[in-house]
Structures are given as structure tokens and as C-alpha cells.
């Protein structure tokens, strides 16, 4: 049972999960809306919202902190300069998850995750 367990393992090792979050976050930042499985979307939400909160300051240290997680210059620049300033007055809740369909191959529930 996973009562009060802190995060989803997604059937991956910690390094694989970290890489998955990083790649999904980069895709979300660049495209601003992606479709993925519901579990991955829910897991990504906490990861990306923490990054946006860090990026809201907009200074050099915010760039460094975000880049440490993403390791992608283009995505870091877009997050700190374009996306994070939209949420200056908002305390959390930067993303929206919308359930879409069931994937035909493995019947996995899919969802869109996008910025509000």
C-alpha cells in the first residue's frame, strides 16, 4: 500500500525517473501543452510547479537553479523569461491536467498537461 508515500515511482529507477521528468518538463516548456499518461502528468505537475516557483524571481540565480534541473539552455531561457513572469501574482496552480482518452495499445489513460 502507498498510504502517505511521497511520490510515484512510475516503475523506474531513480535516475530513469529523474531523466523522464527532465525530458517531459523540457517538452512541456517548449510546446506549452503535451499529451502523456495520466500518472506521468500528475508526477510532472509537482516537478514543473517547483521549477516555475524558482524561476519567478527572474534573476541570475533563478537561471542557474532551473538550469541545474533541466540542463537545456533554450528551455531554461523560455521558462525564466517568458513563462514564469506570467505567474508573478499566482501562488501555485500553474498547470492544468485534462484527461483525454485511453491509449489503444495498452489501455493506458492519457491526459493533456498544459500551462494555465
Just give the CATH number of 14-115.
3.90.1030.10
**3-19 confidence digits (pLDDT tens):** 988 899 999 999 999 99
- Measured distance CA(116)–CA(111) in Å, rounded: 15
Rounded-to-integer distance, Cα 35 and Cα 39, Å:
12
pLDDT in tens, 9-48: 999 999 999 999 999 999 999 999 999 999 999 999 999 9
- Map out the domains of the chain as residue ranges: 14-115
Cβ count near 13 (within 10 Å): 9
In this model, does residue 59 exceed pLDDT 90? yes
Are 99 and 20 in contact, with CB atoms under 8 Å apart?
no
pLDDT above 90: residue 1: no
Amino acid at each position: 500500500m502507498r498510504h502517505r508515500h511521497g511520490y510515484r515511482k512510475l516503475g523506474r529507477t531513480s535516475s530513469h525517473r529523474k531523466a523522464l521528468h527532465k525530458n517531459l518538463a523540457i517538452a512541456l516548456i517548449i510546446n506549452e501543452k503535451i499529451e502523456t499518461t495520466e500518472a506521468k502528468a500528475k508526477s510532472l505537475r509537482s516537478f514543473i510547479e517547483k521549477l516555475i516557483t524558482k524561476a519567478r524571481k527572474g534573476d541570475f540565480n533563478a537561471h542557474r537553479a532551473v538550469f541545474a534541473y533541466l540542463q537545456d539552455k533554450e528551455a531554461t531561457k523560455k521558462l525564466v523569461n517568458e513563462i514564469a513572469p506570467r505567474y508573478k501574482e499566482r501562488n501555485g496552480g500553474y498547470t492544468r491536467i485534462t484527461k483525454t482518452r485511453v491509449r489503444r495499445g495498452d489501455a493506458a489513460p492519457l491526459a493533456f498537461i498544459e500551462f494555465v
